[in-house]
A and B are shown apart, each in its own frame.
Chain A
Amino acid sequence: MSAIRQLALPFPERFDYAAADFIRAPSNAEALAWLRRTADWPDGRLAIWGEEGCGKSHLLAVWAAEKGARPIQAPALRGMPDLPSGDRIAIDDADATCDEEALLHVLNAAHENQVPVLMAARSPPSRWRLRLPDLASRVRAVTAVRILPAEDELLRLLLTRLLAARRVPVARSVQEWLLLRLTRTPAAIREAAARLDRASLERHRPVTRGLAARVLDDFESGLILHDEETLTADHSADSSAYRPLL
């Protein structure tokens, strides 16, 4: 049996969503082109959508911060909220809205005040499950732009970035070894970085190919990483990226 492991305290990645930390790639080029041209959005509204971990929250935060705004989490919208201050409104997880009247109110009020609204979601607005017809018809008319599945090169840069953000040194050869074997999604890359970080902390060992192989085995056998990161609502990090994958 293995020796007793030391419990590793969570050491979450912190990107602070700086503009310079965003990795540009062909898969997000169209979204970026739209974000650079807020004035051209039909009706002043835009939705960006794409798979888990594809960088939606990052883009949303960068766009909002240009005018000193902070993204709103859609599930937290309730009642008739006052419009947040700032010249932009950014709504994250917009397809997870609980109070549809509250979202309708924000959209209407923003339109009336000529404040542009950016929404981010996993699915395109035309497929959100909404019960309020007034909201549904407005949302379906929103210009939607997709962030396409990540290219291999983007995943490669992302893994390097995430490991660096977690201060986990991993040799290039081990990273390449992992990249070949991981599911080719940003979410899997994030999960792998979190697991490697934890495994290395627990064992007081640098990440070798052997350790990477063990982490990958756990990953594939469906072992779910229970980490405080999954449970705490950390608005500065894309907490959705830590949801169990398998």
Chain B
Amino acid sequence: MAFDSGSFEQDVPVSVDQPSGGDPQLAAKWARVRGRLQNEVGEVEYRTLLRQMTLVAFDEAEIIVQLPTKFLRDWVRTNYGDKLLALWQAEDRRIRRVEFVVANAGAADPAPEEPPIAPPPETRADASRAEPEARPEMAAPLEQRFTFDNFVVGKPNEFAYACARRVAEHPASAGFNPLFLYGGVGLGKTHLMHAMAWDLVSRNAGRTVPVSVTYMSAEKFMYRFIAAIRSQSTMEFKEQLRSVDVLMIDDLQFLIGKDNTQEEFFHTFNALVDAGKQIVVSSDKSPSDLSGLEDRLRTRLGCGMVADVHATTFELRISILEAKATRAGVAVPSKVLELLAHKITSNVRELEGALNRLVAHANLFGRPVTLETTQEVLHDILKAHDRKVTIEEIQRRVAEHYNIRMNDMSSARRARAVARPRQVAMFLAKQLTSRSLPEIGRKFGNRDHTTVMHAIGRITELMERDASFAEDIELLRRMLESA
């Protein structure tokens, strides 16, 4: 890929040498003008500032040149306007003026149409297909992939899973209302709730009055409640909530400290339970540990079934990764799965996130998933921090590696046994730090920057010629970066 400023969306050449009308003579003149201009102003200026010029119109006395941005137009007009006119006049004496215009942003750089990030779910929790007058705005959409079939069961979550299945099969049965699921973030509580909703809806699809399930986060509950107060429609809000068969509220801990919303939830809770409707609640703590929640609410939350989801074990993490990789249809070596299961222990969301990244990267760049690509792509997760390497560390490590003394890095000795390692250290200092070449030179016994340049050139050349030497340098680089 070239260094270039130009179109963001497409990797296409940005200059157009064919003016509108396609007059080959005119195109040849324009090419000559550009060529001369490039010779006069130099390569860097030309490429950064002038390459994006397009000839858009021409009549006998006037040339119109287009640039993609206002900044470029102004800059080119001020600095190169006279020069361009002179160059044109050399081609065609009739030309009197060169005009500069800005490209129409929309026309010049069309953004390709992209599909939405995910297909819209076909079903909502409240079964809006079966129930036309349902309340689409009340519930949050359900994740298609969060079904019971896709839930990987292991020791840490088998109890919560069994409770969820039971409630989906027999909602509002004694001892299971409310169902209170708790555990750390990203362990599958939301997955279980969505799975229950899918199951309830499909199980009751044949009924004349379809079952109405509403799932929402506590955050959304609060948001809706506040919005209802603002728009003076709290009665509507209450009625809508109290007419559902199953209400699921995710992440209840969000209501801590929000007294008015808690109060409203408490009343909704009581109304639904009294009417024999099922309530499912999730939280990061058990009801008794939810300090900051009103006592009467805590008591009611704990009087049904309380099921905890424990942190995952290594075995469960492996099973989850295997299931997920199979579903994604991507071959992931078992060594990679083990690395992920070993390194990402905090929760399933992060674990799946890491695997998603790997798969997306493999698809985007057409590379298979290997241990090497994993280390590269997930570098930021697998390493707690990137180290800033100092020139001194580089010198010390290189001196150790070649078995020379540290002060030979700055000594005047020119024997190859000393000079070559010194050159290697200079090369690595350029690669691994952002120091300027004169600064690097100073750290190596006040050497001149040209000496540093020579060293970099020499090592680059040696690496190209000698594969084992290149490997050696690569090894040093990795050791320094991960030390």
Contact in complex: A112, B72 (CB < 8 Å):
no
The minimal Cβ–Cβ distance linking A32 to chain B, given in whole angstroms, is 7
Contact in complex: A112, B141 (CB < 8 Å):
yes
- Chain B CB within 8 A of A172 CB: yes
**B276 proximity list for chain A (CB < 8 A):** none
Contact in complex: B435, A184 (CB < 8 Å):
yes
**B45 proximity list for chain A (CB < 8 A):** 160, 172
Contact in complex: B71, A16 (CB < 8 Å):
yes
Contact in complex: A115, B117 (CB < 8 Å):
yes
> Which of B3, B185, B226, B449 interacts with A154 by CB under 8 Å?
B3
> Which of B48, B75, B346, B384 interacts with A167 by CB under 8 Å?
B75
Interface of A is mostly: helix
A133 and B284 in contact, given A41-B117, A157-B48, A185-B434 (Cβ under 8 angstroms): yes
- Chain B CB within 8 A of A66 CB: yes
**A134 proximity list for chain B (CB < 8 A):** 185, 251, 284
- Chain A CB within 8 A of B132 CB: no
- Chain B CB within 8 A of A1 CB: no
The minimal Cβ–Cβ distance linking A52 to chain B, given in whole angstroms, is 11
Contact in complex: A44, B118 (CB < 8 Å):
yes
- One of A4-12, A23-31, A194-202 at the interface: A23-31
**A156 proximity list for chain B (CB < 8 A):** 44
A32 and B8 in contact, given A18-B71, A137-B347 (Cβ under 8 angstroms): yes
- Chain B CB within 8 A of A131 CB: no
Contact in complex: B48, A164 (CB < 8 Å):
yes
**A167 proximity list for chain B (CB < 8 A):** 75, 78
A141 to B117 CA separation, bound complex (whole angstroms): 17
The minimal Cβ–Cβ distance linking B366 to chain A, given in whole angstroms, is 11
The minimal Cβ–Cβ distance linking A70 to chain B, given in whole angstroms, is 15
The minimal Cβ–Cβ distance linking B97 to chain A, given in whole angstroms, is 23
The minimal Cβ–Cβ distance linking A190 to chain B, given in whole angstroms, is 13
A41 to B70 CA separation, bound complex (whole angstroms): 32
Contact in complex: A41, B360 (CB < 8 Å):
yes
- Chain B CB within 8 A of A169 CB: yes
The minimal Cβ–Cβ distance linking B481 to chain A, given in whole angstroms, is 12
Q: Who on chain A is nearest to B52 by CB?
A: A20
**B381 proximity list for chain A (CB < 8 A):** 124, 126, 140
A105 and B219 in contact, given A144-B380, A184-B435 (Cβ under 8 angstroms): yes
- Chain B CB within 8 A of A19 CB: yes
Contact in complex: B48, A20 (CB < 8 Å):
no
**B359 proximity list for chain A (CB < 8 A):** 42
Contact in complex: A126, B346 (CB < 8 Å):
no
Contact in complex: A108, B217 (CB < 8 Å):
yes
Q: Which of B417-455 contact A (CB under 8 A)?
A: 434-439, 449
> Which of B4, B109, B114 interacts with A23 by CB under 8 Å?
B4
> Which of A20, A42, A114, A140: most chain B CB closer than 10 A?
A20
Q: Which of B89-122 contact A (CB under 8 A)?
A: 105, 109, 111, 114-118, 120
The minimal Cβ–Cβ distance linking B352 to chain A, given in whole angstroms, is 7
Contact in complex: A127, B434 (CB < 8 Å):
no
**B48 proximity list for chain A (CB < 8 A):** 23, 157, 160-161, 164
**B217 proximity list for chain A (CB < 8 A):** 108
Total interface residues on B, CB under 8 Å, equals 74
A151 to B434 CA separation, bound complex (whole angstroms): 10
Contact in complex: A141, B49 (CB < 8 Å):
no
> Which of A141, A157, A181, A183 interacts with B350 by CB under 8 Å?
A141
**B365 proximity list for chain A (CB < 8 A):** 33
Contact in complex: B3, A25 (CB < 8 Å):
yes
The minimal Cβ–Cβ distance linking A217 to chain B, given in whole angstroms, is 13
Contact in complex: A116, B380 (CB < 8 Å):
no
- Chain B CB within 8 A of A234 CB: no
Q: Who on chain B is nearest to A66 by CB?
A: B111
> Which of A26, A37, A44 interacts with B1 by CB under 8 Å?
A26
> Which of B2, B356, B384 interacts with A42 by CB under 8 Å?
B356
Contact in complex: A141, B352 (CB < 8 Å):
yes
> Which of A18, A138, A154, A157 interacts with B69 by CB under 8 Å?
A18
A133 to B363 CA separation, bound complex (whole angstroms): 30
A181 to B346 CA separation, bound complex (whole angstroms): 45
- Chain A CB within 8 A of B68 CB: yes
Q: Which of B352-381 contact A (CB under 8 A)?
A: 352-354, 356-357, 359-361, 363-365, 379-381
Contact in complex: B349, A165 (CB < 8 Å):
no
Contact in complex: B438, A181 (CB < 8 Å):
yes
A201 to B6 CA separation, bound complex (whole angstroms): 30
The minimal Cβ–Cβ distance linking B51 to chain A, given in whole angstroms, is 10
- Chain A CB within 8 A of B482 CB: no
- Chain B CB within 8 A of A80 CB: yes
The minimal Cβ–Cβ distance linking A158 to chain B, given in whole angstroms, is 9
- Chain A CB within 8 A of B140 CB: yes
> Which of B9, B47, B364 interacts with A19 by CB under 8 Å?
B9
Contact in complex: B71, A112 (CB < 8 Å):
no
**B47 proximity list for chain A (CB < 8 A):** 157
Q: Who on chain B is nearest to A62 by CB?
A: B8
Contact in complex: B380, A18 (CB < 8 Å):
no
Contact in complex: A157, B5 (CB < 8 Å):
yes
6 residue pairs of the A-B complex, CB under 8 angstroms, read A20-B109, A32-B8, A66-B9, A114-B120, A140-B353, A153-B3
Q: Known A-B contacts: A134-B284, A141-B354. Give 13 more (CB < 8 A).
A: A19-B109, A21-B5, A25-B4, A42-B359, A43-B356, A112-B141, A112-B220, A134-B185, A137-B349, A142-B353, A157-B3, A181-B436, A182-B436
Give B contacts to A, CB under 8 Å: 1-9, 14, 42, 44-45, 47-49, 52, 68-72, 75, 78-79, 105, 109, 111, 114-118, 120, 140-141, 184-186, 217, 219-220, 222-223, 226, 251, 284, 346-347, 349-350, 352-354, 356-357, 359-361, 363-365, 379-381, 384-385, 434-439, 449
- Of all A-B residue pairs in the complex, the 6 with the closest CB atoms, nearest first, are A141-B353, A124-B380, A20-B68, A19-B8, A44-B117, A42-B356
